[in-house]
Structure 1
């Protein structure tokens, strides 16, 4: 009863803080911070942490705990994040003079700015980049020994689970080409092309959007992972909402939710062979257990293992660009936890990593101090990103980058901590588009300056 009381109080305080720093927790006005609250924390983490603390989770991962006390310590750690993360974001907003409710609502109403409408430089650069990304999608399929989606379409269902692991871990090509140009950039480019297609109505943008859209769908489902296609659809909903082509109402939200649930059920049936109705309805198994328990349970395993069975990593899972200066080999805590809890899966090749709430990796490296400082750091970083994008011009590129981060930051929060210290894909994408925009802007300014001088020379 005490755990439930704490859970309710913490939840109420967290809701108030997140409402203040996001501008809206309404389902009809989704944003970066509301997704963090609903997806990363409330659904994926806090519901399950209460069930674990009450010892009514009945979840197979939690059965691997060696010390039951970490049921309560883990619950306390997640409760700390529920308060400290938005509190840090609130303090950042105050220091920046950021009125979340006012500025976010103004951003939604702000029209899309015309970008480089007088010249073709941006389209030509965008077309070239799009071709590279579509070729990268084809390259990814060609370099994957057995493409799971093709096996599914052929009716070969026996080894889909193993093929999914093989597609991710034993890719035969260049991983950077796959991860950056195919997986990361292609969906983002499709969103930018969609905005230009809507705002210009030109056939060149419409055709390019459809080509990128198909490529984005292919790369989202090729390895039969459930989350990429769901999150791509959410990004597409966001972009339609933010450009004014969609008004979210409760009927549509319910429809989207039912459709998403149907997709998840179908994927569970065909990919994992689950056909028992009881498995779907049981809160500790099937899709429900995957949503509310699978993501947070490894956090409890991290707390239980590191400092006891496994020594603290002391920075060894930090980005390689940092630790290579200290002659350390990079080790991801999520992989160590998988190897410790499920060694048989590592041996048969069906086990990857047990990603979970970001504080787990911070704890695995630096103990409880890592949880405290890591939460503060992430809160500062996330709120600064939110404020910067809302205050940037609302052109197609900045808008779609905002949506990209609005989806990927909540996903990363339940994936690990080190990606917030150095994320090469985020840095590359940001620098790429900032560089393109800056280059074209300088070209246009130079052209305007030369035209002005030419006009002045003719007049004289």
Structure 2
């Protein structure tokens, strides 16, 4: 009973501060911080933490705990994150005098401006990037030993869907950077930008480009049988329509989309994983429900249980390889180490890879409870600064699409690890690429205007 009272009290405090930090927690007005609250923390982490603390989970991961006290230690640790994370975010807003509610409302009402819409060189550069991303998708398909979705379609039963997916991810024969950056990351982002231009210009060239990129994004998000990427991409597309003004969210629409999404998800479980037992869909500790409320947070408890007990703290060896390579230190990702330690049989069979979980777990694996405190402060400040920055930037297709991209991918990264918030090469390259394009075109316009002025004066 005590756990339930504490859980409810902490939830109330968390809702209050998230409301203040985000400007709105209404599902009809989704934003970066509200999605973090609902998806990353409440659904993926907080519900499961109570079930685990009460000892009623009967979950296969938690059954591997060797120290039962980490049930309540993990629960209180996650409770502290639920309180302090939004409190720090709200503190950042108060410190700089940022009214999240007003700024969010103003941003959603802003008209979209189209920079360089009369400049053909922007379209040509964008077209070149689009061709590059589509070629990268084709390259990914060619360098994948067996394309999982194709194997399922043609009925090849030599390998299970899980083995096919793991084979596609681990035995990829091409350049990983080309696949991850230009195919997986760039294509969805380009499709969002192209959509805004297609809507606002009503030009055939932008419409055709969008349709090509949309098809490519759907393919690259489904080819390896991963269930979540396609859902997140479609959610990005819905959010973009909302922020562009082409779609209005209502309770009825959300209910219909929820039912439709659940139906598709169940269908994917049946086809991909061969699950047909109806009880597994209705149970809180298996199937899609268990995947949502327990699978994402259970590894956090395993991290707490292992590091400092059975395994030594990594002491920075889990930090981004770009940083630790300078000190000739080999990177060790805690999510992989925990999987290898807890489920060696699955790793050996080739059906398991990593146990990604809430970001504090990776911080703990490296630096203990000091790491959890430091990571909570750092990530909360970083996310709020990102949120404020995007609400202050001009609402054009590029900045808006990046805003939507991060609105979905930051919450996903929160339940994937901590080190990506220190240095994320994909995010860095994408931002650098588009900032570089904007600067190049702006400089070219200014130089052209300057040359015309000089020419005009010389003619006089």
User: Partners of 2:105 and 2:353 in 1: how far apart?
Assistant: 41
Cα distance, 1:452 vs structure 2: 2.9
Q: Report SS of the residue matched to 1:265.
A: helix
User: Partners of 2:389 and 2:215 in 1: how far apart?
Assistant: 31
Mapping for residues 368-447 of structure 1, pairs under 5 Å: 368-447=369-448
Task: Give CA-to-partner distance per residue, 1:149-183, whole Å, 9 cap, x none.
Answer: 00111123552110101111121100000000000
User: Partners of 1:160 and 1:33 in 2: how far apart?
Assistant: 34
Mapping for residues 91-170 of structure 1, pairs under 5 Å: 91-157=91-157, 158-170=159-171
Mapping for residues 40-439 of structure 1, pairs under 5 Å: 40-157=40-157, 158-439=159-440
Cα distance, 1:442 vs structure 2: 1.2
Counterpart residue number, 2:28: 28
Cα distance, 1:455 vs structure 2: 3.2
User: Partners of 2:392 and 2:176 in 1: how far apart?
Assistant: 34
User: Partners of 1:386 and 1:65 in 2: how far apart?
Assistant: 37
Q: Report the count of equivalent residues.
A: 459
User: Partners of 1:289 and 1:160 in 2: how far apart?
Assistant: 19
User: Partners of 1:325 and 1:396 in 2: how far apart?
Assistant: 38
Cα distance, 1:393 vs structure 2: 0.6
Provide structure 1 residue ranges, at least 5 long, that are not aligned to the other structure.
none
Q: CA RMSD in A?
A: 0.9
User: Partners of 1:118 and 1:194 in 2: how far apart?
Assistant: 17
User: Partners of 2:14 and 2:246 in 1: how far apart?
Assistant: 32
Cα distance, 1:118 vs structure 2: 2.1
Q: Report SS of the residue matched to 2:221.
A: helix
Cα distance, 1:67 vs structure 2: 0.7
User: Partners of 2:41 and 2:449 in 1: how far apart?
Assistant: 50
TM-score by length of 2: 0.99
Provide structure 2 residue ranges, at least 5 long, that are not aligned to the other structure.
none
User: Partners of 1:198 and 1:118 in 2: how far apart?
Assistant: 16
User: Partners of 1:280 and 1:446 in 2: how far apart?
Assistant: 62
Cα distance, 1:453 vs structure 2: 3.1
Q: Report SS of the residue matched to 2:265.
A: helix
Q: Report SS of the residue matched to 2:253.
A: helix
User: Partners of 2:53 and 2:339 in 1: how far apart?
Assistant: 22
Runs of 4+ in 1 over 6 A off after TM superposition: none
User: Partners of 2:65 and 2:247 in 1: how far apart?
Assistant: 46
Cα distance, 1:454 vs structure 2: 3.0
User: Partners of 2:118 and 2:144 in 1: how far apart?
Assistant: 42
User: Partners of 2:297 and 2:86 in 1: how far apart?
Assistant: 19
Q: Report SS of the residue matched to 1:221.
A: coil
TM-score by length of 1: 0.99
User: Partners of 2:264 and 2:449 in 1: how far apart?
Assistant: 52
